[in-house]
Structure 1
Amino acid sequence: MLRIAPVDADDDGQFAAWYSALRTGAAAGRHAPVVVSATALRSQLLHQTRAVRYAFGAFDEDRCLGTALLERDTEHNSHLGEVDVNVPPEHRRQGIGTLLLHELSEIAAEMGLTTLLGETAAVGETSPGLTFARGHGFHSVHTEDRHVLNLPLPPSRLAELARTGDAAEHGYSVSSWSGPTPADQLTALETRMNAEVPTGNVDSDPEEVTPNVLLARDHRLRERGYLSLVALVTTAGGNPAGYTQLLVHGDDPTNAVQDDTYVLTRHRGHRISAWLKSVNLAALQASSPAVRYVHSWTDGTNNAMQTINAQFGFRAVDVMHEVQRGGRQS
């Protein structure tokens, strides 16, 4: 008898079955899929922070046939609930995903969340996740191309790419580190990036990044098992001009995620992004030699970053759709 029930992340057996179903569903049919690790996700559920998560499973006795997650930020965009539903291929087209989404929708309504937002990877317009979302009233409101870079790259190639601009000749310098970020270095850059990055018609407001927000995020990353690698370019006067960040989880040492790359508008035109990426990829290969894939998500209208990614050897493998239902009440 199928039942929809909350997941107890303290229950080893139940969580293992639930995560296995999530990973199988999320990875199905995708090239080099990157899925949140069991350790990181379990930590998120056991140690709730400003982002509160609710996990549910579709269970047939001890077997988990599908998974659902609802996340809300208690400090920002309080109208918004992020939803995630995964069903392994062998259990699809039986109404399991519909039951799980209905459970999340009921809880979101009780919380007063008026906008539901999800992500699904698609190869073509008939991909299962996109078809499911549209069939339940969601609309694609923003897309990003997922690009994958195979590693290792020859150090000589990275050095060549780093030299393609003239930033150093104009007094810029680059530094890199792993671990916590000095709070005064990236707050202004991240705030500007949040305001400028293309988000399509997603019903959310950009967040101002304060030192406390940055410090809390760094703490969460360390607590959940992520290695953070950051490269920063500064002006001759020491002011931040641009940065990039890569993340690697200890449970998934073959995959790295390109989190952000951003250069302030007034400093563009010197190929600072290429310099940043070259330095950070060299640091990644030195510190995490097991990494074989770097994953980057880039808006299709961001022609400059699309070009730089192609020069490094990134190739497009699928499209991430942000799908949305509802909206803020006027």
Structure 2
Amino acid sequence: MSPFAAAADRYAGMPYRRAGRSGLKLPAVSLGLWHNFGDDKPLDVQRAVLRRAFDLGVTHFDLANNYGPPPGAAEANFGRHYAADFRPYRDEILVSSKAGYLMWDGPYGEWGSRKSVLASLDQSLARTGLDHFDIFYSHRPDPDTPIEETMGALDTAVRSGKALYAGISNYSPERTDAALRALRELGTPLLIHQPSYSILNRWVEDGLLDTLGEHGVGSIAYSPLSQGLLTDRYLDGIPAGSRAAGASPFLTEDRLTEETLATIRALNDVAKRRGQSLAQMAIAWILRRGRVTSALIGASSVAQLENTVAAVANLEFTDEELAEIDRIVA
């Protein structure tokens, strides 16, 4: 590919939303590098997706230490693309990463000890070639480590300049409350929580969104397309080469029951009436009413990326549409 020059109109179409009561704005749609930036994916496709995302106003790229395959590969590959294309735009992009899931052998390679979190942070910075992350997360709560220790490690990450903001992911409402209080005592606010959330997966509505709203914390929803279920890919069953037809532990064939397929088809009918694809409507639903700061999408191609990002053109729902979606899912 030729040297990258970002589109002059890259900020024209993307809404940006403030994360809680912070000064930081996130694009309504962010790009996650969970599934499509490991060593099993062509680098030229990765690079094309990243370039197009930035040209569409997607300024936030989300990583974790264990994203691959193999673990670490997504960060290393992003580092290659950053060095080739995005270094001149460092002050226009947000890059986040996380620590908490298994990354290396032995007692310090996962969870939330100070030793593990800060060692992982240094490794992630080395793989990406960055001198800091904009957001650094505790990827999951550690049941055996005091939350004050894990949050103390995030506080150290921020105070050392290796991260600008602290975040958490996959924390329950109760653990979220404890985490934000521990960070507040240290003088480092909790910026954002990254939970799973979709039309089909609404656990965050059982207290978490209320907790975040009460304390002025932002949110960024991962898997808003329910691992691909909320797309047009499975409307006629399971196609060869799809995630459900493969060995993915995240979307297995037994999830695609006739009842589930009927639900997806009914939701697709609502999307058609709105003039959207099912994926676009699913993203718009996540962003409705402003309770979620950003929807975190994946993309295996430029065409897929463009289709999903186009959701921002229509984020409004009528009360009747919302009620119909609830009836379909119920």
Bigger Rg, which one: 1
TM-score over 0.5 (shorter chain): no
TM-score by length of 1: 0.34
Higher helix residue share? 2
Higher strand residue share? 1
TM-score by length of 2: 0.34
